[in-house]
Amino acid sequence: MNIYMALIVVYLLVVLLFGFWVQKNLVKSSSDFWIGGAKLGLLVSSCTVAATFLSGGSLIGYPSMYYASGGFAAPWHMIGTVACWIMIVLFFVHKIRRTNHVTIVDLFEERYGPRARIIAAILNLYVAIGYLVLNVAGIGAVLSAVLGWSWSFSIILGFAVLLIYVLVSGYLGVVWTDVVQFFIMVVGVIMVAIISVNMAGGFEVIKNTIMSDVPWYYSTTGLDNYFDPQTQWRLIIMFGIANLAYAPYYVRILSAKNEIVAKNSFIIAGAANIFVWILLLVTAAAGRVLLPNLQVVNDNFMPVLITSTLPTIAGAVLLCAIVAAIMSSVDSILHVAGVTVARDIYQRMKPDAPDSKLMSVSRWAILVVGVISVAVALANPAMIFTILVFVWTFVANGLAIPVMAAFYWKRATEVGAVASMIGGTLTTAVWFFLKQPFGIHEFYPGLVVAVALLVIVSLATAPPSKEVQEKFHGEHMSLNAEA
């Protein structure tokens, strides 16, 4: 245990020191703090896109869910996510960059109007808090299991360090540490997958053991029909559209130095993430041999694998990879929350506010959102994958439909977009609290209402101005137009 504690302490200290260095040497303006001055090259841009997606949900939540109930039927979310990345590269990167915004909330005001901006900002903060909660749970899972600390203390201490880091360094600190942390994650996952398979006796032993002891692992629906056809399609559609409205991706598209870099960064990051997902599936399968009787509680599969099975060096590398995964997502989400409050809310009320004031507001917002996220996580412990799906449901039904319409339907109006965001969100929430009537997941009625309201209300109200239609649907927005 001592070596793991020492490793975490050293790792977090190095990251904090790097954050202070970035603040002193690189952050010169609010643009640097928010989008890195829009000058990131291919390596940095690719790594920060990949690292942002590989969160605590990926390296802790996914393997625990694969091991406990999903098996090889679990990765339905991968199909939707990969499809969405392809859509982002082919149909959205060039349009997002040519509208020349700083945040996704800017898009809602320019395309729809100020009321849409307010609703989008509120939903953006809600999603940020939800995504932070699942990563906070990841911090608690790994530190409590590996170091023996209480779950609550692990969450508070671990998140405190992350808060300090993001408060100091801003976006440039986020992306440059993402580069290092991405490589740590990849190396850690590769090493653990290889060692786990070898310790389990090889692929043939793993296959035979699973077929004998847990045959559901090879089914298409998982344990007790966990991934039934309704769930499979829900995950494909939900992840397939929700990523289009994921604020950290929007910031990364804008922060790349040109369109080609932005597109290629998503291609490279997508390939890297698929590779990591496959390795996590393999590790979870090996875990069925190495830890046949493990009761998964608080996503403890990977932490238990570290402490009870892996050699110390391999466990230490995996621990660093998990911490890196959590940090790479938490810093991105906290950063988005700060920008949303400072840029999308405060600056609209105080348009003449100086850069120093905006960065101060952003840092205070990061602090408040962080504290709220910790409080929610402590009050409502849940499986990370469950939290992840819940958050993405609201992204899909609250934000994704108006984002798609903003670029691909001229007739979409502000009133229609507002109705879609509010209606989709409220329907999803009400259906959830009614315990899913008729056995239908809240995603489906929420999506139907969001689409229906956007179309019906938009057609019933005056169309957008010619200026707005030209800006978002003119010839300059076509794929073949010169950037």
- C-alpha to C-alpha distance for 366 and 124, rounded to whole angstroms: 13
40 beta partners:
256
Summarize pLDDT for 73-123 with one digit per residue, the tens. 777 878 888 999 999 999 999 998 888 777 788 899 999 999 999 999 999
* Residue 27 pLDDT: 53
Contacts of 100 (CB under 8 A, 6+ apart): none
Which residue, 392, 389, 405, is CA-closest to 452? 405
Measured between alpha carbons, how far is 320 from 313 in angstroms, rounded to an integer? Answer: 11
pLDDT reported for residue 421: 97
Is the entire prediction scored with pTM above 0.95? Answer: no
Q: What does pLDDT average to in each consecutive run of 10 residues of the chain (483 residues)?
A: 74 72 58 54 86 76 84 82 92 88 85 93 87 79 77 82 68 66 86 93 93 87 85 90 86 86 93 92 93 83 86 82 77 78 83 81 86 82 68 90 95 97 95 92 95 98 93 81 58
CA angle, residues 246, 250, 253, in degrees to nearest 5: 140
pLDDT digits (tens, 9 = 90+) for 31-52: 544 444 457 788 888 888 888 7
Residue pLDDT, tens place only, 212-243: 988 888 888 888 888 888 888 998 999 899 88
How much is the pLDDT for 455?
98
Task: Give me the CATH code for the 2-381 domain, please.
Answer: 1.20.1730.10
Ramachandran category for residue 437: left, alpha or beta (phi over 0 → left; psi -120 to 50 → alpha): beta
Is the separation of the CB atoms in 292 and 75 below 8 Å? no
pLDDT of residue 34: 47
Instruction: Tell me the β-bridge partners of 46.
Output: none
End-to-end CA distance of the chain: 54
Residue-range domain boundaries for the chain: 2-381
Q: Distance (Å, rounded) from C-alpha 104 to C-alpha 114?
A: 13
Which pair of tokens denotes residue 239? Answer: 């992840």
Q: Which residues of 423-437 are buried (b: 16+ CB within 10 A; e: fewer)?
A: bbbebbbebbeeeee
